[in-house]
Amino acid sequence: MSRWLITGAAGMLGRDLAEVLAADGVEYTALTRQELDVTDAAAVRAAVAGHDVVVNAAAWTDVDGAETEEAAATRINGDGPRALAAACAETGAVLIQVSTDYVFPGDATEPYRHDAPTAPVNAYGRSKLAGELAVTELLPERGYVVRTAWLYGAHGRNFVSTMLGLAERLDTVDVVDDQRGQPTWTRALARQLRELGEAAVAGKAPAGVYHGTASETATWFDLARAAFELTGLDPERVRPTTSEKFVRPARRPSFSVLAHERWAEAGVAAQPHWRDQLTEALRVMAPGRSGA
C-alpha cells in the first residue's frame, strides 16, 4: 500500500484527509505549516522522501488579505507547490495540488470544464494559478491539480459553522443570493482525493486538472437555509440579499460551478449532491442539533 504525505495538515481538509487515510489503514505523515514550510526547498525534499503520494493542502487562504500582500500569498500558493513538484520529480512521487475555482473569472453560464481558460479576478486566484502552473510544468505525468470551492467542515471556520453560530445570536440573517457554486464538505473531498491518489499510483488516472466539488448547485442563501432546516431551525429566518450589501476588498466570482467530467477517466466517482453532503456533515458538525 502507498505511503502518503499531507502538508497543511492542521486545516479543515488536511485533518479530514488524515482521518480518511487512518480509517483505511493507510500509512501517512501529516505535517502542519509549523512543521513544514512548503517554500523551503531543502525541507520539502526531506519531507517528500519515502512517500508515494503527496497532497498539498498548505495554502494562503486569506482572500482579502492577498489583495495587499500578493507577493506573500504567491510565495506560499505558487512557490510552495513548485518546491513540492520539484521534490516529487526527483523521487517519482505523485503530487495532488489542491486549488480553487478562483482561477476562473466567474462570469460563465455553464459549468467550467477542467480545460476552460483561466482568468483570475483577484490576487488570491492569481497566486493559486501560479501553483497550478508549477505542478503541471514540473510533473506532467504525475502532477494532479484538484480545484475545489465553497469548502466547509468540522475542523475550522467556515460558512456553515458561521451561520449556525449566528442563529444562536440573531433572529434573522441576511445571506447573498446572487453567487452560485457547489457547497463541498471537506470529508467528501478527502475521500475523493484518497481514491485519486491510489488510482494515480496504479497508473489508472491521467495526470492534470480535476474539479473536486459537490454535485448540483446552490447559492449561499440556499446553503444557509438548508443548514437551518437540517438542524431544526426555521429556514425563514434566512433572508436573501445581494453581494452589494457585503463589499469586500477582493472581488468574488459570481459563478463558481465546476464540471466533473474527468473523474470518469480516472475511474473515480463524482461527489454526491451538495445537500446529501450537508446532511451527513451536520451529523459531525452539529450532532446535538442535526435532524438527519
Quick check: is 124 catalytic? yes
Quickly tell me which residue has 470544464 as its cell: 113
Q: Pick the catalytic residue from 28, 124, 144, 152.
A: 124
Report the Cα 246 to chain-centroid distance in Å: 23
Active site residue ranges: 124
